[in-house]
Amino acid sequence: MTKKAFSALSKLAVVALMTACVASCGKETMVEGGFSIGGGRQVKFAKGNVYYTVLTKSYAMYNKQEEAAGSLNGALTDPNYQGTIDLFGWGTADNPLLLSVKDEDYPTFTDWGSKLGGKWRTLNKDEWKYIMKGRPDANKKYALARVNNVTGLLLLPDMWTLPDSCLFFPGMNYLDSNVYKDRIWDKMQNAGAIFLPVTGYREGTAFKSGMSGRYWTSTDDFVNGAWGFAFQQLASAAVVCYEHRYPGFAVRLVEDVE
């Protein structure tokens, strides 16, 4: 084989490898299993929360559902911090480092999905309500759980079959029963289970930990408010109205099933 032919073949191999990687990566960012959101529509969830890398000024999504930056969100007090954050003020896709505690500095919503390609978007308030309360047997399709030692909320898709060797107890009172690790969690996830980790939240530059999970919706509330999806230990998971837009909450994106 000539050098020219070998070079051409090598280029084709690289292109093929890159194409396969892109296709694979695209598939791996989404968990299979549809969730009804009303009006005969369904969505599929991303496999991990959104995060932003300060050094590269770029967004991405975690490869694991239970991943979260935690207290690193408070590292923005250091002007030289170049790592990742995953708690954002409401609608701040264009300005993820906005730390203001003035609601007027968050006048409009720009979806984080617009920065990640494809058709990713943030659920609105009514869609979250339908997932939690409107679907058939909705109250049997969520539970407090622990995945690889991380506490959070487990959500099941519309069509669900419990995998072999797995257990699931619906509701918010069975944290010590809904414990999944390694291969058992892989079975649950492959069957369509979604896990939203407890991430804490941020006020200005201060990181606040705790047993509550707080995620943004795309819905505003009057002039200065916005709606967030929240859950906490031993309490109902619900869509809750927050008075302010400036706290840093987590973001989990979805894509519409077409």
Q: How far, in Å, CA of 76 to CA of 83, rounded?
A: 9
CB 236: neighbour CB atoms within 10 A?
A: 13
Token pair, residue 233, equals 């230990």
Q: Which helix or strand (DSSP H or E) is residue 11 part of?
A: helix 3-28
- 250 in Cβ contact with 195 (< 8 Å): no
Rounded Cα distance between 189 and 195, Å, is: 8
pLDDT in tens, the chain (258 residues): 444 443 433 333 333 333 333 333 344 578 888 999 999 999 999 999 999 999 999 999 999 999 999 999 999 989 899 999 999 999 999 999 999 999 999 999 999 999 998 899 999 999 999 999 999 999 999 999 999 999 999 999 999 999 999 999 999 999 999 999 999 999 999 999 999 999 999 999 999 987 889 999 999 998 889 999 999 877 778 888 888 999 999 999 999 998
| Residues 35 and 43 sit within 8 Å (Cβ to Cβ) | yes
Residues 92 and 115: their CA atoms lie apart, in Å, by: 11
- Give the model's pLDDT for residue 90: 98
Task: Locate 155 and state its tokens.
Answer: 């959500």
Angle at 194 between CA 192 and CA 197, to 5 degrees: 160
Which one, of 34, 35, 69, 24, lies nearest residue 49 by Cα?
69
Q: CA nearest 96: which of 118, 67, 116?
A: 116
Q: How far is CA 253 from the centre of its chain?
A: 5
At 210, which amino acid appears? G
* 172 CB-contact burial (10 Å; exposed 0-12 / middle 13-18 / buried 19+): middle
How far lies 1's CA from each of 10, 13, 46, in Å?
12, 16, 45
* Threshold 0.75, pTM exceeds: yes
How is residue 77 annotated by DSSP?
A: G
Strand partners, 231: 213
Strand-pair category, 238-242 with 206-208:
unpaired
Instruction: Please tell me the predicted confidence (pLDDT) of residue 94.
Output: 98
Contacts 24+ apart (CB under 8 A), 239-245: 239/125, 239/128, 239/129, 239/132, 244/101, 244/103, 245/89, 245/90, 245/91, 245/103, 245/106, 245/220
54-57, Cβ contacts within 8 angstroms, sequence gap of 24 or more: 54/81, 54/82, 54/83, 54/84, 54/85, 54/97, 55/82, 55/83
Domain extent listing, the chain: 3-30, 41-256
